A and B are shown apart, each in its own frame.
Chain A
Amino acid sequence: GAVVSQHPSWVICKSGTSVKIECRSLDFQATTMFWYRQFPKQSLMLMATSNEGSKATYEQGVEKDKFLINHASLTLSTLTVTSAHPEDSSFYICSAPPVAFFGQGTRLTVV
């Protein structure tokens, strides 16, 4: 039980385009989901907390207009990277309490 599924697992996009990443809780309901970002050879850093039915809360330094989060149902949260640039290339990964497991992660490469 307690599986978190993330899609896609990898994506390559052109600079200036937008990319949507989905995070689903498969067998439980998640009113909260966490989005982390991991740059190469670095640790995971919390980007934002997604709250079902309300606005996401963003960590300091994370642009809320660039990283749009929507948590429209109890099993799905989406992260949209808008107007992506090469510096946004990273590993994006979600988790959903009450468990400390992560989704598969999405490797974003912006060219």
Chain B
Amino acid sequence: GENVEQHPSTLSVQEGDSAVIKCTYSDSASNYFPWYKQELGKRPQLIIDIRSNVGEKKDQRIAVTLNKTAKHFSLHITETQPEDSAVYFCAASPGPGYALNFGKGTSLLVTP
């Protein structure tokens, strides 16, 4: 089955700096790669996703890149703010209608 590795497990940055979280996957059948932000005690919220026919996608301060050949994808957050502090999960699946395989999560702390 699919195995998703996520690094780093914790990340601390100063407000205004950029944060990068990286994930790798093993199953070449995976074509859908969403990223979730989870605040304490709340459900994961989809923040951005990318499909395998696209190499990069951007939404304001958030961007995701995908290298399908190397089987890795990354989340980039620019101009970080304290409210970006949360746990971020990457995931992979054959498509949006399929069950997701999650990475272990990255705890991001943005200090003022």
Contact = CB atoms under 8 A, between A and B. Distances in A.
Contacts, number: 43
Given A43-B89, A44-B89, A102 B102 contact: no
Interface string A48-61: 01000000000000
Contacts of B43: 93, 102-105
Interface residues of B, number: 20
A98 B97 contact: yes
A46 B46 CA distance: 17
Contact of A43 (B46, B98, B103): B103
A100 B32 CA distance: 10
Contacts of A102: 43-45
Contacts of B44: 44, 93, 102
Interface centre among A44, A95, A98, A107 (most CB of B within 10 A): A44
Interface in A75-111: 93, 95, 97-105, 107
Given A100-B49, A102-B44, A104-B43, A43 B96 contact: no
A32 B45 CA distance: 20
Given A43-B89, A44-B89, A49-B99, A100 B104 contact: no
Which 9 pairs from chain A and chain B are nearest by CB? A97-B97, A105-B43, A98-B97, A43-B102, A102-B43, A44-B102, A43-B104, A46-B99, A34-B99
Interface of A: 32, 34, 42-46, 49, 93, 95, 97-105, 107
Given A49-B99, A102-B43, 14 more contacts: A34-B99, A34-B100, A43-B102, A46-B100, A97-B96, A97-B97, A100-B32, A100-B46, A100-B49, A100-B100, A101-B46, A102-B44, A102-B45, A105-B43
